[in-house]
Structure 1
Amino acid sequence: MSELMTPIPFWELMTWITTEYQRDGSVFGVRPYRAGEKKLPIFGETIETPFGPAAGPNTQLAQNIIAGYFAGARFFELKTVQKMDGAELAACIARPCILAEDECYNCEWSTELTVQQAFEEYVKAWCACKMLSRVYGLGDPDGFVFNMSVGYDLEGIQGKKIDTFLNEMANASATPVFQECLRTLRAFFPGEAAYIDAISPRISGSVTLSTLHGCPPDEIERIASYLLEVKHLHTFVKCNPTLLGYDTARSILDGMGYDYIAFDDHHFKEDLQYADAVPMFHRLRHLADQEGLEFGLKLSNTFPVDVKAGELPSEEMYMAGKSLFPLTTAMAARIAREFGGKLRLSYAGGADAFNVGKLFEIGIWPITMATTVLKPGGYQRFTQIGRKLDALNFNPFTGVDIAGIEALSLAARSDKYHRKSMKPLPRRKLREQVPLLDCFIAPCQDGCPIHQNIPEYMELCRKGEYVSALALITAKNPLPFITGTLCAHNCMNKCTRNYYDQPVNIRATKLVAAEKGYEELMACLKPPAPAASRARAAVIGGGPTGISAAYFLGRAGIPVTLFEKSSQLGGVVRRVIPAWRISDDAIDKDAALMKAMGVEVRLNTPAPTVAELKAQGYTHIFFAVGAWRAGKLDISGNIMPVIGWLQDLKAGKSVSLGHVAVVGGGNTAMDAARAALRAGAKSSTLVYRRTRKYMPADVEELELALADGVAFLELAAPVEQRDGILACEKMKLGEPDERGRRKPVPTGERLEIPCDTVISAIGEQVESELFTANGIEVDAIGLPAFQTNLEGVYAGGDARRGPATVVEGIADAQAFADAVIGAVHPYSIPVGARASREEALAKKGVLCESARCEGDRCLSCQVVCQICADVCPNRANVVVELPDGRHQILHVDRMCNECGNCAVFCPYDSAPYRDKWTLFLTRAGFEESPCNQGFLPLGENRVLIRLDGRVFEADLDGSNGLPAEIEVFLWTVLNKYRYLLG
């Protein structure tokens, strides 16, 4: 891989655009936005929408700008140019240089092209957008504006390189690239010659001054004055967030959960100070008025922070996105108040579809953004933003609503889309490596322990086909009510919509299918015919894992007996989890599904020994007992094991209350703490040795506990309960352990809280004596293997994992059933269970937190993924359609600068720019990339190939030894996508 990008000649660019548009109706993978009649005046020009890409990765190359325009952007802040450029600058940038998984970080700044190349890219983009607007009906050809961005000192800006750039951007008529663009457009559109000849050569008459951190105020003023007086450019001055002051910035971020972001006060001391900024901006505004130009501030620049956790391969990185929004709106509120709302503010800093309308209505525009279009959906996100703004009133700038921006600034600090989750992000990526071909995948399904067909049942529910949806669910999951209520939903952690707004509520949709499809499905069920197999199975334990195993075996016609020592099925779910979490009726319905399979259930029956069961003719035995033994909290006082306490509470027995302290941080601890309040406790406090971000409980369980009034005592280790007091030792966080959680370290300090009852919820255990008494070997913590040392004897769920999730138990149950049956149970996908490609594409790029049905929010990733193509600013990952209709990803080496953004968002544990099939422009590029499997066209249908560690030439017209699917892929690229070849 080469990190140096090769600009696309304009003829090739237009060939790509026109060919793709004619074939697919898209340009660079982006579907068209068509502007309405509204316009806004700015810089003596007009814009049809008051937003677009910020100076950054999305305004560096011509194709980037064109893609943004096609999606709906009409204000383009071009990537910054400075005297240091090209290879010299690129060598300073660590790779990968972008991390936009949540809040965004980057360690790149100005264009990596030479200034001359940057100029040519901007001219090409200008001419292309002028032409496309007209011939494709996208809007008014004069309805968009290019805004230059320059830095970083006056000497450099006055130097020949940048001065030439500014002059030629102001009038490109005499430049070779402008004339070449006009000639090319005449050749492509001969009927539009008069229009083409009239295309304005004035590429830009405005500039945003971007200054380095530490630039003195007098230097900033000299540069801005020069741009206004000498170059006669409408001028915005970009301000750094450091203008807020260290204490304010630190306080805002800490209060929103960003306390881990590391920075000290040196930038705040070295950067422009507020006291210097205000009078300077007054003077510059007055100067602009004298010159008949517009002046304003661009809020804000990215925010420099320290690299502490290896986020990027640099010492310092620049923060943007959702965490920059509260800082930038705070700056905007302060400056608006200072200038009485009369100073124009251009905005960048976490803008997206959820807040762009609020900013615009306050009078803050134009609005530029980078982070949102670096996430899945990419440039197509601009279309939703354009449509949102279309619905608002367009009025010329008259001032900023001071009260409005102050209210928005304060609201941002509690906004769920800007606050940091109280727990670290879960791992979104799958464990598998991306395949060369056919990589489209639904991460939710692959992340589910039972690989439930989630997108399909979501689609069936969207269509109201609940019986079909429930039938599909129960093909792999016999507990739709329990899992529809209590599932740990790893699927939702993997959901791609996490990168848009919030995950699709998969668990709740499963419950909807269960509730609406259950009666009709039950009416269709009957015990299956006996299997030809001589197997006969015993399942020990009637909790979720045991019920599931019995269901799977019964469905296959295998005689199965379930032994449960209590009087009811359901295990911990029935006897321990509070009734306000799940009802007995829901559990009974899941049990009824199992019984409908002809399973023999023996309640109030302790399991016979393994020897006795084998003597009775059982060929296979499955231990599915729960983790009923409480973990020991080794302190003195009134200590209640959580399982027994919750069990007694649910059974209606009297339990110890008063001031309650629950020691632990898992979901069971949350249940106990909430149950204590419901039962009448005077107070309920969760006590945990670490901070809440390291608690194993799910985020929503933490939020529910807080909402119920549970108090959290973090960094505290219980020592003793006595006389209505719980004494604890204060802890501090030390080094991370093997699981990445920071170890609690004693401080020697003490603290006390009122406490009459301590509930110990520190990890339940399985009674391993049950196994050892039967001759089953266990490990150091008392757990057997899935397939034990005894022939035909297995263990699953809590019995083999310790406290396990319900769905993990179902997975073990299915594995046991497959072992007994000797095959995986077949199932089919109902007709209509997959969204069409057009329906799936229509959802991409759309932020949507609520809908009529969660199926409307599901992105149908098993139909369309293309995330690596979406998120690439340079369009270096291209979707190729094969003759059979399948869509594949091709990585185009010459357009990639190794920013790494596709690696962040690819569902696989892979980097598409290294791991997908790569098209090379030159032999040197091919040879520089020994890790990339790919090809170099050699003319006709001959190619140089690197595949599976071999390098060889292949002739696609003859015998070549290539796998058939690779050969078809290459032939398609060479013959149907020739515009990619260069």
Structure 2
Amino acid sequence: MTNATRYWGEIMSDRMVPLSFRALLNWVFGEVQSQNSIFGIGRYYRHAGKAIKFLDAEIELPCGPAAGPHTQLAPNLVAAYLTGARFFELKTVQTLDGEDLEVAKPCIWAGDEAYNVEWSTELRVEQAMQEYIHAYIILQLLARELNLGDPAKFVFNMSVGYTLEGIQSEKIDNFINGLIDASSTAIWANAIADLKANMHLFKIVNSADIESLSPHVCSSIALSTMHGAKPSEIEPMLRHLIGNKGLHTYLKMNPTLLGYDRARQLLDDVGYKHLVFERSAFEHDLQFADAKAMIERLLAFAKENDRQFGVKLTNTFPVAITDDTLPGEMMYMSGKPLFVLSLSVAMLIAENFPDIAISYSGGADVFNIHELYETGISPITICTTLLKNGGYYRQQQISEMWQCGVQPSKLSVAKMAALLERVTADSHYRSSNHYKKQKAGGNLPQHQCFSQPCQRGCPIEQDVSAYMYYAERGQYDEAMRIVLERNPLPFITGGVCYAFCQDKCVRNHCDDNVSIRDVKLQIAQRSTVRTIAGIAPNGKTALVIGGGASGMATAHLLARQGYAVSLHERAEQLGGILTKVIKNEPNLQSYIDADRAILENLGVTVVTNSQIDDLSACLTRYDRVYLAIGATAFAKLLGIEKAAHAQLIEAAKELNITLIGEAAAQKKTSVVECIASAWQAVGESAIGVARPNFSSCDTHDKKGILEVVQDDDAKRCLHCDGVCENCVDVCPNRANIALHIEGLTQPEILHFDDFCNECGNCTMFCPYDGAPYLEKTTYFSGREHFENSSNPGFCLVGDEVLYRQGDVVEQCRVEDLEGALRSIVEYVIDDYSFIIPKEGE
């Protein structure tokens, strides 16, 4: 087990520390003023369209985060609202809470589909109520202060479980009552007092706005029926919520309603045959025949009470843990495989209850949510998609694409069936092991960590980000110069490279990898650059025997060093083994010819139909001799019928001949690996190409924007070496912060200890073999938290800094710190001071 897969509480506390309302207020509006962002969200959704009717109110958009990791803390809810969420399913509460609720950590895995081993809120119920009331107030303020929308047209939907005794307990009853009307709670009173004492934070909000704040946080509730909820108690719980509490009520139903055989078939059809789940779970859960009769009774009961009863589809799906994905024995599946299950349950419900309200959360994302809405399902919430690159900004894309003011239509089983048929035929909904190839590897640097995974995955380390930047802007000559800096065969690699780089592309976690190889070919074809200027002859000669990829690359690199190069190939055309093994590329010869033209423009003499049988003459005529003809051909040239690899290496060494490609590697190699072999043999041949200035790059505006592959796909590049911040985006709690510190080449990632519950999600999306939540510089709000952790980081103690760096723990003045740590501490004090607790907070 790695340090990223510890159980909670072993070294670093996984307990989140909610902000006081005053601290939350100072953070939100302090960050707006100093950074033009809030919890790292710098792009806001502003609703300008119509609202729709929902229950007994109006809502601007019927979508937002599902009950789960994105609705646990107030900062989560703020981030979601800023990016366009207007319907919020608050995380489920139950009597078992806080430290009494043991959750194995890490608790989230979202590499392809998603799994979790968490369930209800990890806060105390009283803390959860505090977070939800605080967030409800802050969102109303932000709506006015930043002109984000109507402060009355968003909805909080609370969620409770899992027993009748539990939801009727004093603890949960107080929670429900407090969210129905918070005005009588101390939480509300203290928050209003803090607002009145801090009116200087606002430019638009005034005293009248404070007095008009609505304390009615929730008028609706969802009942979760997982984690041991007894089928016999479901109806009494729902009657209690509808009849006694007067709430519009949704029943969260489970995929088990489909029955084992149907669920097994659906998952098998989309490639999830490896998932293990027990038939007994279906038999012990609520059966559809019983559910149908119960729903009929509850619809009538709700009507009698002038409330709405509906269903929420669906809870996550329990499967066995068969590897080390997460700790424990059972985990809960969500994401794309849950989509086919949840949509199938929706069809089942709609067939029997065509007028029932169906709320939905099961694998919804930008590629299906609008079609879901057209089936009559509303509201719709999302979770798994928010756990991936882009994070909350994925909500913004959904919101900006929404057709505002359009009421949901009547439920359509036909449209649901058509959608199900489409997604089951769509490869994106199938199981994928791509996450296993995603990591570029290496240790995670504590500082200045941004890099291109695609570049690190490429054997010749091409600067993909730079040539994508130029290609996106149509500057193909500049892009071609960047390509040629590391790649002497742009046409061949643009046409037939294995494209290891694409396996590492961050967009694999979003939609599809950028078509790096295709863009490279476009650059080569659209550029006018066909040589490298300014090469000075060095007065030496070189012979390259073998005109395959290794030989062509070697000749190119030698010419760049100033050699007078002769390239000899025994066949009529260059290309070597490429022409024999690649049969499905009709343009291969044209790619070879184009790269040959670049060679000849560099001054390389290309001689085809040239069989060299006498190495001794070559050795006397040329200063350097390189063999790129394969081990078998080299042995034959030496007159050795069978030779071990070591024998060939020794023979080449004695003759002062350099082997390249297959003969050197002792294996068949790809085109790009042939080029890497040439680089290794020839050495550096730098041509001094200037990289673009990424300060004007609009990468931040691309975050969270999911797109299909484009003809000119360069625009989809995320330029990870300039703007990575994956760990920032994917953290539901906003516990990772990007600090843009003047004087540093890249932003610094600061981990905020109080917000972290060690879910581990950032580990999956970090391109290194690292865990940002454990390895990045961490800010601690107090000494106790610092001492309860092994993370590198610091806390402020009066005018001094208590810090940990490796095994060193010291306390000193800020000016006595050195390097990046000093820059971070000074930046927090000077520019991010709103995260530092003030007296009384």
1:568 and 2:581 aligned: no
Contact 2:312 2:361 in 1 (8 A): yes
Question: 2:292 aligns to what SS in structure 1?
Answer: helix
Question: 1:847 aligns to what SS in structure 2?
Answer: coil
Alignment match, 1:521 = 529
Q: CA deviation at 1:71?
A: 0.7
Question: 1:521 aligns to what SS in structure 2?
Answer: coil
1:380 and 2:381 aligned: no
Listed as ranges, the matches of 1:830-869 within 5 Å are 833-836=692-695, 839-851=698-710, 853-869=712-728
1:443 and 2:453 aligned: yes
**Corresponding residue pairs, total:** 820
Alignment match, 2:370 = 357
Query: Which of 819, 828, 833 is the equivalent residue of 1:964?
Result: 819
Query: Which of 452, 456, 459 is the equivalent residue of 2:462?
Result: 452
Alpha-carbon separation, structure 2, partners of 1:205 and 1:540: 80
Q: CA deviation at 1:188?
A: 3.1
Contact 1:788 1:794 in 2 (8 A): no
Alignment match, 1:898 = 758
Q: CA deviation at 1:185?
A: 2.1
Alpha-carbon separation, structure 1, partners of 2:696 and 2:724: 10
Alignment match, 1:72 = 84
Query: Which of 808, 817, 821 is the equivalent residue of 2:673?
Result: 808
Alpha-carbon separation, structure 1, partners of 2:206 and 2:796: 35
Question: 2:768 aligns to what SS in structure 1?
Answer: coil
Query: Which of 72, 85, 101 is the equivalent residue of 1:60?
Result: 72
Alignment match, 1:701 = none
Q: CA deviation at 1:399?
A: 2.7
Alpha-carbon separation, structure 1, partners of 2:509 and 2:736: 19
Alignment match, 2:627 = 623
Contact 2:613 2:637 in 1 (8 A): no
Give the aligned CA root-mean-square deviation in angstroms: 2.3
Alignment match, 2:223 = 209
Q: Deviations over 1:211-231 (max 9, x none)?
A: 125533321111111111111
Query: Which of 407, 413, 432 is the equivalent residue of 2:424?
Result: 413
Query: Which of 358, 361, 366 is the equivalent residue of 1:348?
Result: 361
The letter of the residue matching 1:217 is: P
1:829 and 2:690 aligned: yes
Contact 1:786 1:794 in 2 (8 A): no
Structure 1: tracts of 5 or more residues without a match: 628-765
Question: 2:158 aligns to what SS in structure 1?
Answer: strand
Q: CA deviation at 1:526?
A: 6.4
Q: CA deviation at 1:256?
A: 1.0
The letter of the residue matching 1:548 is: A
Question: 1:547 aligns to what SS in structure 2?
Answer: helix
1:927 and 2:787 aligned: yes
Q: CA deviation at 1:543?
A: 0.4
Q: 1:853 to 1:603 in 2, by over 3 A?
A: closer
Listed as ranges, the matches of 1:644-663 within 5 Å are none
Alpha-carbon separation, structure 2, partners of 1:439 and 1:857: 22
Q: 1:798 to 1:407 in 2, by over 3 A?
A: farther
Q: Deviations over 1:514-547 (max 9, x none)?
A: 1111xx223x656933126x5x433232101110
Query: Which of 952, 964, 973 is the equivalent residue of 2:810?
Result: 952
Q: CA deviation at 1:923?
A: 2.3
Which structure has more relative contact order (CA 8 Å, sep 6+)? It is 2
Alignment match, 1:584 = 589
Contact 1:242 1:271 in 2 (8 A): yes
Q: 1:775 to 1:572 in 2, by over 3 A?
A: closer
Alpha-carbon separation, structure 1, partners of 2:193 and 2:645: 77
Query: Which of 34, 49, 56 is the equivalent residue of 1:44?
Result: 56
Alpha-carbon separation, structure 2, partners of 1:51 and 1:308: 34
Q: 1:467 to 1:255 in 2, by over 3 A?
A: same
Q: CA deviation at 1:131?
A: 0.6
The letter of the residue matching 1:972 is: Y
The letter of the residue matching 2:340 is: P
The letter of the residue matching 2:129 is: F
Query: Which of 489, 492, 498 is the equivalent residue of 1:482?
Result: 492
Q: Deviations over 1:477-528 (max 9, x none)?
A: 11111111111111111111111111111111111111111xx223x65693
Question: 1:417 aligns to what SS in structure 2?
Answer: helix
Contact 2:49 2:405 in 1 (8 A): no
Q: CA deviation at 1:787?
A: 9.5
Q: CA deviation at 1:838?
A: 5.8
Q: CA deviation at 1:459?
A: 1.7
The letter of the residue matching 2:819 is: A
Alignment match, 1:593 = 598
Query: Which of 154, 157, 176 is the equivalent residue of 1:144?
Result: 154
Alpha-carbon separation, structure 1, partners of 2:545 and 2:285: 69
Contact 1:65 1:125 in 2 (8 A): yes
Alignment match, 2:3 = none
Q: Deviations over 1:391-450 (max 9, x none)?
A: 35512x5631221112112222112331224x6544111122121221112211221111
Alignment match, 2:5 = none
Question: 2:184 aligns to what SS in structure 1?
Answer: coil
Alpha-carbon separation, structure 1, partners of 2:181 and 2:629: 79
Q: CA deviation at 1:778?
A: 4.5
The letter of the residue matching 2:677 is: D
Alpha-carbon separation, structure 1, partners of 2:331 and 2:307: 35
The letter of the residue matching 1:827 is: G
Alpha-carbon separation, structure 1, partners of 2:172 and 2:485: 66
Contact 1:527 1:597 in 2 (8 A): no
Q: 1:477 to 1:132 in 2, by over 3 A?
A: same
Q: 1:848 to 1:786 in 2, by over 3 A?
A: farther
Contact 1:104 1:321 in 2 (8 A): yes
1:538 and 2:543 aligned: yes
Alpha-carbon separation, structure 2, partners of 1:613 and 1:120: 83
Q: Deviations over 1:851-909 (max 9, x none)?
A: 46212211122221111011111111001121236421100111101000011101111
1:602 and 2:607 aligned: yes
Q: CA deviation at 1:175?
A: 1.3
The letter of the residue matching 1:375 is: K
Q: CA deviation at 1:578?
A: 2.1
TM-score (normalised: structure 1): 0.80
TM-score (normalised: structure 2): 0.93
Question: 2:698 aligns to what SS in structure 1?
Answer: helix
Q: Deviations over 1:70-93 (max 9, x none)?
A: 11001110000000000011xx21
Query: Which of 339, 346, 349 is the equivalent residue of 1:332?
Result: 346
Alpha-carbon separation, structure 1, partners of 2:458 and 2:693: 19
Query: Which of 26, 30, 33 is the equivalent residue of 2:37?
Result: 26
Contact 1:320 1:349 in 2 (8 A): yes
Q: Deviations over 1:905-949 (max 9, x none)?
A: 01111110011111112323222322x211121122x21121132
Alignment match, 2:6 = none
Q: CA deviation at 1:373?
A: 0.6
1:888 and 2:743 aligned: no
Deviation larger for 965-974 or 208-217: 208-217
Q: 1:289 to 1:437 in 2, by over 3 A?
A: same
Question: 1:436 aligns to what SS in structure 2?
Answer: coil
Question: 1:378 aligns to what SS in structure 2?
Answer: coil
Q: CA deviation at 1:314?
A: 1.4
The letter of the residue matching 2:606 is: V
Contact 2:460 2:675 in 1 (8 A): yes
Alpha-carbon separation, structure 2, partners of 1:933 and 1:327: 43
Q: 1:770 to 1:955 in 2, by over 3 A?
A: farther
Alpha-carbon separation, structure 2, partners of 1:566 and 1:305: 59
Alignment match, 1:980 = 835
Alpha-carbon separation, structure 2, partners of 1:151 and 1:298: 14
Alpha-carbon separation, structure 1, partners of 2:218 and 2:485: 61
Q: CA deviation at 1:305?
A: 0.5
Alpha-carbon separation, structure 1, partners of 2:750 and 2:159: 32
Contact 1:545 1:809 in 2 (8 A): yes
Alpha-carbon separation, structure 2, partners of 1:493 and 1:247: 35
Structure holding more helix per residue: 2
Structure 2: tracts of 5 or more residues without a match: 1-11
Q: CA deviation at 1:115?
A: 0.3
Deviation larger for 544-553 or 571-580: 571-580
Question: 1:475 aligns to what SS in structure 2?
Answer: helix
